[in-house]
Chains A and B, each alone.
Chain A
C-alpha cells in the first residue's frame, strides 16, 4: 500500500487492536473514504476467521502448557502400578529393565553407562545415580532425523539432541552407532523418561515437546497423540535415579 493508502503493517496492527487511539481514529477515518484499504482490512479479518476455524485450540493448548510449570506427577505416581502411557514399544514411568528398545522400522536406541573403569557397559537394572555418565547408541535406516528429550516426574522436559538448533539432527545411517557426547545425569532424584523420535523428515523440537507435554498432562496414550508427528517412530527408555549408596 503506497502513497495515499495506509501501509499493510498499520492495517494489520489496526485489526490486531494495537494502534493508539489517535492512530486508530485516523485509520477509521481513512477507511471511510478508501475502498482499497477497506477491502484489505476485510480480507485480513476473513483470513483471521478462517485461521481460527482451522486452528482454534490445539496450538494454544500446547503453548499454554509449555508456559505453565505444572507439577502433576506426584499424585499420579501414587498409582504407579496403574499408570500406563504407552509410546511405541515402551511404557511411561513404569520400572522396566531393558535398556534397549527396538522399533519395527529398524530404529533402535541403546543405553550404556560408564562403569568404574570408565568403560561403557550395559546396566541390568534401570537404576542410576546423579553424576553418572551415560551414552546412547542408535541404529537407523530411512528415519534419519532424530530428537532425544527427557521428561521427569515434575514435567520438566530437557532436550539432549539436537545439540544446537531447533529441529531434528541428522543421523548417519547404520547400526549401533554412538550419539555424539555422553550425558552426565543431573542431581534430580526420581524417574526420568528419555524419549527418542526418529523421523523421515526434520521435526521442530518445540512441536515434539508440545506433543509430549500434552500427552502427559492429559494422561493421553502417546500412540494416539503420535499422528501429530507424522512419519515418526518414537521409543523411550526409563531411568530411575536414586541417591548413590555410600
Chain B
C-alpha cells in the first residue's frame, strides 16, 4: 500500500478508530496506542473489504475487540503520575473504578454476549446496527442479552459484588 493511500485511510478513518478506543479505554495515551494497532490491522485488511460500507462496522468490531482485550489484561496497579491522565476528565477515579468493574463483569461472559451487551446498553445501537458490526442476527442479539440478564446475578455473586 502506498504512502498516499495510508495517508488517505488515516484521514478517513483515524478519528473513528480513536473515538472507539478512547470511549472504551478512557485514557488518551492508551487510546492512541490502541489506535495504532487497529489502524495497522485496517491497512492489512482494507484491500480485502470489497464493500467499503463495511469498513466502519469492521473498525467498530476490531477496535472493540482489541480494547476489551486490553481491559481484560489490565491489572489494577498504583497509577504512575501522568499529567495527561490527570487533565483528562474522563479518567476520573470513579470512571476508572466503574470501567474496571464493568471489565471484570464482562470478562465472565463470552465475547458475543459482551458485544451484544456493550453495543446495546452502552453505545445504544439498535439491533440492525449491531448486526452490521458483529454479524449477530437480531434473534441472536436478543438471546445473548437474555443470557446476560439471567447470568448477571450469579456473576456478581461470584465476584463478591453486591447488587444495590
Please list the residues of chain A having a beta carbon within 8 angstroms of any beta carbon in chain B: 2, 7-10, 12-13, 16-20, 23, 47-48, 50-52, 55, 59-60, 62-64, 66-68, 165-167, 170, 200-204, 206-207, 210, 230-231
Contact = CB atoms under 8 A, between A and B. Distances in A.
Given A52-B11, A203-B33, A230-B82, A7 B126 contact: yes
Contacts of A13: 52-53, 55-56
A129 B93 CA distance: 52
Given A9-B132, A67-B1, A165-B73, A52 B14 contact: yes
B80 A201 contact: yes
Given A60-B7, A63-B6, 19 more contacts: A2-B126, A9-B132, A13-B53, A13-B56, A16-B13, A17-B12, A20-B53, A47-B19, A50-B15, A59-B10, A59-B32, A63-B43, A68-B3, A165-B73, A166-B37, A203-B33, A207-B37, A230-B29, A230-B82
A230 B10 CA distance: 24
Contact of B15 (A47, A200, A202): A47
A19 B56 CA distance: 11
Nearest to B74: A202
Nearest to B14: A51
Contacts, number: 103
B148 interface: no
Contact of A16 (B3, B12, B70): B12
A64 B3 contact: yes
A9 B6 contact: no
Contact of B36 (A2, A19, A200, A206): A206
Q: Which of B7, B19, B53, B129 has the most CB of A within 10 A?
A: B53
A204 B69 CA distance: 12
Interface residues of B, number: 42
Contact of A59 (B14, B60, B73, B77): B14
Q: Which of B7, B56, B60, B126 has the most CB of A within 10 A?
A: B56
A9 B57 contact: yes
A19 to B, nearest CB: 6
Contact of A18 (B29, B37, B53, B73): B53
A69 to B, nearest CB: 12
B155 interface: no
A227 B135 CA distance: 40
24 contacts: A7-B125, A9-B56, A9-B129, A9-B133, A12-B56, A16-B13, A17-B12, A18-B55, A19-B53, A48-B11, A55-B32, A59-B10, A60-B14, A63-B40, A64-B3, A64-B7, A67-B1, A170-B75, A202-B73, A202-B74, A203-B33, A204-B33, A206-B33, A230-B82
